[in-house]
Amino acid sequence: MLMIGTGNKAVATAVRDAKPTVVAAYPITPQTEVVEETANYVASGELDARYIPVESEHSSMAACIGAAATGIRTFTATSSHGLVYMCEMLHMSAAARLPIVMANANRALGPGWNIGAEHSDSLSMRDTGWLQAYVSTVQEAYDLTLMAFRIAEDENVLLPVMINLDGFLLTHITQSFETVEPGDFIPEINTPHAIDIDNPGGYGTLTPSNEHFKFRRDIERGMRDSVKVIEDAQNDFAKRFGRKYGMYEEYMTGDADVLVISMGTLAKETEVAVDNLRKEGIKAGSVGIRWFRPFPDLKDVVEGREVVIIDRDYSFGYGGILANEVRSKTGCSPFSVIAGLGGQEVTYDDIAGFVKMRAANEEHWFGVDE
């Protein structure tokens, strides 16, 4: 069905269509509408789920962990301080191999108090073992949230998935989007290690280092195998519903001399910058990173090109997180632009400006550096 609504509404609608059995969530700006709308779907009977209102984000993830351990489908949503507050439970959910799906509205962390879009919240949870996707449109928020359940629950993955959308910029924008009838696109959940009261066992028991080591290695195995599972899910989605997604999104990259790599809504804004740069004779292209964990193989697309990377985040004492991930995986020498922190306005003209001022291996803080 073709609808119009916000990014938050699209996430909640995808949750309705994916039919989780438990939703446990705590409201926080700018994702509160996800919590409200999923609650409405449960209240109206459109989603047959148990809705557990909790007292904190730590508890919302704990409730999802408990529910998922029994082998049922679970969902929660959060943002910023809520996400980092549940940090302990993020590690726990991934290490317990529980396929929980969560939407995160990317928002800056305080102080100083700022609730604008920033990727620092989810990127600081980079090493928890969660898969992470960043979406660029309301349609993609719906589609990826739906796909997240299938990917997380795949027997070769069994890891939680975080769908990230830029706070306000995407959570609050109204755009059209099309819902689907998932049918058997998302198979019945079948968690092999679900609690079985007829066969009692220990969960999270004391584990000697040699076993612990194997468990950790298997998380990495699941993360690596997830690439094929993601690609299969996205290809099947395209076949059934007509919308095609990849690990990353390329725009005008074929003959490009310079690539702009970014995530979230900036990736769409960059496409407009690319169009304008090409009118001026600068052969630019855009790569929007959709899946950040597992990190995509960008070697071929980056090869032989100048690269500008926009980070809406920063690793203090090191640099732009995306820039350094791409640099270490591909060996490129990017012009690293730090822009959009705290919801800072970044226009397509600004992005075109970054391309024009590019200098390999330099770092530029937009609006701060001269």
Q: Which residues bind another protein (CB under 8 A)?
A: 4, 166, 168-170, 172-176, 265-266, 268-269, 271-272, 345-348
Shortest approach of another protein to residue 296 CB, angstroms?
Answer: 21
Distance between CA atoms of residues 37 and 8, nearest Å:
8
Shortest approach of another protein to residue 101 CB, angstroms?
Answer: 25
β-pair partners for 133:
163, 291
Residue 314, Cβ density class (10 Å: 0-12 exposed, 13-18 middle, ≥19 buried):
buried
Distance between CA atoms of residues 273 and 286, nearest Å:
9
Contact 323, 311 (CB under 8 A): yes
Compute CA distances 342 → 29, 108, 122, 270, whole Å.
14, 5, 14, 19
For another protein, which is the closer residue by CB, 19 or 278?
A: 278
Shortest approach of another protein to residue 24 CB, angstroms?
Answer: 26
For another protein, which is the closer residue by CB, 160 or 343?
A: 343
Distance between CA atoms of residues 104 and 165, nearest Å:
6
Shortest approach of another protein to residue 69 CB, angstroms?
Answer: 38
Q: Which of 223, 351, 227 is nearest to 287 (CA)?
A: 351
Shortest approach of another protein to residue 251 CB, angstroms?
Answer: 9
For another protein, which is the closer residue by CB, 171 or 330?
A: 171
For another protein, which is the closer residue by CB, 174 or 235?
A: 174
- Collapsing DSSP states into helix, strand and coil, what is residue 110? coil
For another protein, which is the closer residue by CB, 267 or 308?
A: 267
For another protein, which is the closer residue by CB, 6 or 122?
A: 6
Shortest approach of another protein to residue 347 CB, angstroms?
Answer: 4
For another protein, which is the closer residue by CB, 173 or 238?
A: 173
For another protein, which is the closer residue by CB, 58 or 278?
A: 278
C-alpha angle 337/134/286, rounded to 5°? 50
Distance between CA atoms of residues 8 and 29, nearest Å:
11
> Distance from first CA to last CA of the chain, Å, rounded?
49
What is the residue-wise DSSP string for 60-91? HHHHHHHHHHTT--EEEEEEHHHHHHTHHHHH
For another protein, which is the closer residue by CB, 104 or 344?
A: 344
Q: Which residues contact 225 (CB under 8 A, 6 or more apart)?
A: 156, 157
The 10 Å CB-count burial string (b at 16+, else e) for 75-90 is: bbbbbbbbbbbbeebb
Shortest approach of another protein to residue 268 CB, angstroms?
Answer: 4
Shortest approach of another protein to residue 246 CB, angstroms?
Answer: 18
Tokens of 142: 């719906």
Shortest approach of another protein to residue 345 CB, angstroms?
Answer: 6
